[in-house]
Amino acid sequence: MTQSPGPSAVTTPIRAVIFDLFHTLIDMSMLPPGQSTPDLLGIDAATWAQKVIEESPHHALGSVRDAYESVRLIAHAIDPGLPEEKIRYAVQRRPARFRAALTQVRPQILEGIRRMRAGGLKIGLISNAAFDEVAAWEDSPLAPLFDACLVSCHEGVMKPDLEIYHRAAQRLGVRPEACLYVGDGGSREHEGARGAGMKTVLFLGLLRANYPDLAQRRPRNTDWEFNDFDEVVGLAERLAKPRSD
């Protein structure tokens, strides 16, 4: 499914593509069922996601640097009776899950990014993530393909704050209007991207495969919507061409 942008969305050729990370470029279902943090804690996954993403800014902003303490604050906000040993075990298991997701990237996504780079596009990343969630980033095959990587715990600012989008554009050496932002729609990310002046794509390929109910609930507030990464690449290539009129 695609959505047509308004006339103002195509007046400036694209010079950079900025991606979200989780559920956009990496698949969070790389380990067997039951290995996620909410599973190990016995917490409903949707409740956990809501608490982490919407109600626990300390986690993504890195204001609590200790991984155990950051997760404990979230877990006990949901269930104050959770034993600390259970939380410690879940925290110990987290790095393996995130490493698996970061290092086992789908070939279609890697090839698509390489194709865009070969066409002269700058590639950027904006991710709301805690320190332990991106600890294996340098070992990911994605890492050498990016010209600028902004992770909230390192930046001290998170989506949808316009500041993180403006920083990304500045580090890529382009104006926000020349950026295409691609994400699965979490954290009100497209609202921020549009506020910064970027063109926007809702990419649901990975999210629909793993969490179809969540994909269905994502806001439809973007210029385009795709389920196939090759369609994202094709759009970026078309938007990079100067207008003929």
> Domain-by-domain residue ranges, the chain?
7-28+106-239, 37-102
Lowest mean pLDDT among 31-45, 121-135, 189-203: 31-45
pLDDT (mean) for 127-138: 97
Say what the pLDDT of residue 42 is. Answer: 96
pLDDT (mean) for 158-163: 98
Say what the pLDDT of residue 14 is. Answer: 97
User: What is the C-alpha separation between 164 and 160, in angstroms, rounded?
Assistant: 8
Say what the pLDDT of residue 4 is. Answer: 45
pLDDT (mean) for 161-184: 98
User: What is the C-alpha separation between 86 and 72, in angstroms, rounded?
Assistant: 10
pLDDT of 149 strictly over 90: yes
Say what the pLDDT of residue 30 is. Answer: 74
* Widest distance between CA atoms in the chain: 65
Q: Please measure the distance between the N-terminal and C-terminal CA atoms of the chain and give it in whole angstroms.
A: 27
Q: Any idea what DSSP says for residue 144?
A: G
pLDDT (mean) for 137-161: 98
Residues in the chain: 245
- Answer whether 188's CB lies under 8 Å from 128's CB: no
pLDDT of 9 strictly over 70: no
- In terms of C-beta distances under 8 Å and separation of at least 24 residues, what long-range contacts does 77-86 make, across chains too? 77/51, 78/43, 78/47, 78/48, 78/51, 79/41, 79/43, 82/41, 82/42, 86/40, 86/41, 86/42
Q: What is the mean pLDDT of the chain?
A: 93
Residue bearing the bigger pLDDT, 30 or 16: 16
Q: Which residue has the tokens 């298991």?
A: 93
Say what the pLDDT of residue 159 is. Answer: 98
pLDDT (mean) for 29-33: 72
| Burial tier of 138 (Cβ tally within 10 Å: 0-12, 13-18, 19+) | exposed
Say what the pLDDT of residue 211 is. Answer: 84
Residue bearing the bigger pLDDT, 244 or 141: 141
pLDDT of 184 strictly over 50: yes
Name the fold adopted by 7-28+106-239: Rossmann fold (3.40.50)
Say what the pLDDT of residue 45 is. Answer: 86
Say what the pLDDT of residue 6 is. Answer: 44
HSE of 5, CA atoms in CB hemisphere, 13 A: 18
Say what the pLDDT of residue 59 is. Answer: 97
Say what the pLDDT of residue 10 is. Answer: 58
pLDDT of 44 strictly over 50: yes
Say what the pLDDT of residue 7 is. Answer: 38
Structure token digits, residue 17: 């593509």
